């Protein structure tokens, strides 16, 4: 995890608010050692900032990341980008402000940054043990600190959230692998049972034939066949379907506001016809979206192609992964969360998702 070296500059601390420094600190935690955004970390960074109360647009997050990469490249002396970075740094604006502040304080090389960061780590260790002096705190760049720093608590909160997200990703990957293996076993079982199901469908016809014929062999075997009334009773009952539908969430929480959840007829129709295992996967995915607990495993993205999305709504429609072969389309809004349909691989064969 990269470190926020911008706070080493006193000019930077004087020119920025505490809120801006907190945002920069969170962003730095998701950058690589060369101060580039790690692959796949963009969505996680967006979720963490939102949970902390900082709703940044993609352009604003990109500008924050560029502030770090520009200062790092110029002080590190990356030759491939030196000319472009120097032109950017010479113009006073939001992206070049931290580098200009560091340069104004005499911090111009990466070796200086590394030395100051090591000094800062040593001072922080002494803060935790209660042995930091006033002069050491000044070198660290933040002045004397009380025994319990709010920033220290904030850093611990962010680190615990990051660790929880990484653990969740590992768990989800393991669950996906286990579910894929189980799905393959169920598909093989289904293939083996299809001939048996075809034979069972013909049982009512055999019962009727036994009742209308006078042939002795047929009358002898009649008692071994299930009565016609019993065949009707064993058919799937409506209350079972209703009980499955009742497990779908009815409300959704979005930024502290409770909104209703609506399911289109197409969605419910396909949902009712699916096997119990597929229904449980769909309920799990719908619940995660309704509770605003979207993770990378759901692969939430705008529904494509555009003509397919326009069939449901003129507003933004998204797709999410319910299983290996199923995607669900949904439309979030401030007042209502609508689930439009369940789409198979064949229906979305033109999308890049498959």
Length of the chain: 354
Q: What is the mean pLDDT of residues 32-38?
A: 85
Asked if the model's pLDDT at residue 239 lies above 50, the reply is no
Asked if the model's pLDDT at residue 225 lies above 80, the reply is no
Taking the alpha carbons at both ends of the chain, their separation in whole angstroms is: 33
List C-alpha distances in Å: 338 to 279, 317, 318, 342. Answer: 18, 9, 10, 12
Average pLDDT, the chain: 77
Q: Quickly list H helices, the chain.
A: 10-15, 18-28, 42-51, 58-76, 82-89, 97-104, 110-129, 134-140, 150-201, 203-212, 216-221, 228-233, 238-245, 265-273, 276-290, 306-310
Asked if the model's pLDDT at residue 308 lies above 80, the reply is no
The per-residue pLDDT for range 166-179, each reduced to its tens digit, is 778 778 888 898 89
At 253, which helix (H) or strand (E)?
strand 251-254
The sign of the CA dihedral 130, 136, 137, 143 is: positive
Asked if the model's pLDDT at residue 352 lies above 90, the reply is no
List C-alpha distances in Å: 183 to 101, 179, 346. Answer: 57, 6, 18
The per-residue pLDDT for range 78-110, each reduced to its tens digit, is 776 777 777 777 777 888 888 888 988 999 888
Q: Which residue has the higher pLDDT, 243 or 232?
A: 243
Task: State the pLDDT at residue 293.
Answer: 80
107 contacts 9 by C-beta, under 8 angstroms: yes
At 331, which helix (H) or strand (E)?
strand 326-332
Q: Which residues touch 329 (CB under 8 Å, ≥6 apart)?
A: 303, 309, 312, 317, 318, 319, 339, 340, 341, 342, 343
DSSP 258-324: EEEEEE-HHHHHHHHHS-HHHHHHHHHHHHHHHTT---GGG--EE-SSHHHHHTT-SS--EEEESSS
68 contacts 28 by C-beta, under 8 angstroms: yes
Asked if the model's pLDDT at residue 148 lies above 50, the reply is no
Tokens 């055999």 label which residue? 206
User: What's the whole-model pTM score?
Assistant: 0.37
Task: State the pLDDT at residue 262.
Answer: 92
The sign of the CA dihedral 181, 182, 187, 191 is: positive
CA 230 to CA 221: how far, in whole Å? 17
Domain with CATH 3.30.2310.20 in the chain: 236-354
Task: State the pLDDT at residue 147.
Answer: 38
Task: State the pLDDT at residue 133.
Answer: 54
Residues of the chain with pLDDT > 90: what percent? 6
258 contacts 250 by C-beta, under 8 angstroms: no
The per-residue pLDDT for range 202-222, each reduced to its tens digit, is 666 665 665 665 444 545 455
The CATH H-level (homologous superfamily) assignment of domain 236-354 is RelE-like (3.30.2310.20)
Asked if the model's pLDDT at residue 331 lies above 60, the reply is yes
């Amino acid at each position: 995890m990269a470190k926020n070296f911008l706070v080493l500059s006193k000019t930077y601390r004087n020119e920025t608010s505490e809120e801006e420094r907190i945002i920069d600190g969170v962003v730095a935690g998701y950058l690589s050692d060369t101060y580039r955004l790690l692959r796949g970390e963009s969505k996680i960074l967006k979720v963490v900032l939102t949970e902390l109360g900082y709703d940044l647009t993609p352009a604003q997050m990109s500008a924050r990341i560029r502030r770090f990469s520009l200062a790092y490249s110029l002080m590190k002396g990356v030759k491939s980008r030196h000319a472009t970075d120097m032109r950017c740094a010479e113009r006073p604006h939001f992206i070049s402000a931290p580098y200009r502040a560091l340069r104004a304080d005499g911090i111009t090389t990466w070796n200086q940054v590394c030395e100051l960061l090591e000094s800062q780590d040593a001072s922080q260790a002494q803060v935790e043990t209660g042995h930091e002096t006033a002069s050491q705190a000044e070198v660290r760049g933040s002045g004397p600190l009380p025994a319990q720093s709010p920033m220290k608590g904030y850093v611990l909160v962010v680190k615990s959230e990051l660790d929880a997200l990484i653990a969740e990703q590992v768990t989800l990957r393991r669950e996906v692998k286990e579910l894929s293996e189980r799905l393959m076993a169920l598909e093989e079982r289904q293939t083996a049972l299809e001939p048996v199901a075809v034979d069972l469908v013909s049982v009512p016809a055999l019962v009727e034939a036994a009742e209308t014929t006078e042939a002795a062999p047929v009358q002898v075997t009649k008692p071994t066949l299930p009565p016609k009334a019993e065949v009707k009773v064993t058919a799937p009952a409506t209350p079972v379907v209703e009980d499955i539908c009742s497990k779908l969430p009815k409300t959704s929480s979005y930024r502290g506001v409770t909104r209703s959840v609506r399911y289109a007829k197409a969605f419910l129709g396909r949902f009712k016809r699916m096997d119990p295992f597929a229904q449980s996967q769909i309920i799990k995915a719908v619940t995660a979206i309704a509770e605003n607990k979207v993770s990378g495993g759901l692969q939430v993205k705008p529904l494509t192609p555009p003509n397919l999305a326009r069939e449901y709504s003129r507003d933004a429609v998204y797709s999410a992964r319910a299983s290996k072969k199923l995607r669900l389309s949904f439309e979030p809004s401030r007042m209502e969360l609508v689930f439009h349909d369940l789409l198979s691989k064949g229906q979305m064969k033109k999308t890049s998702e498959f």
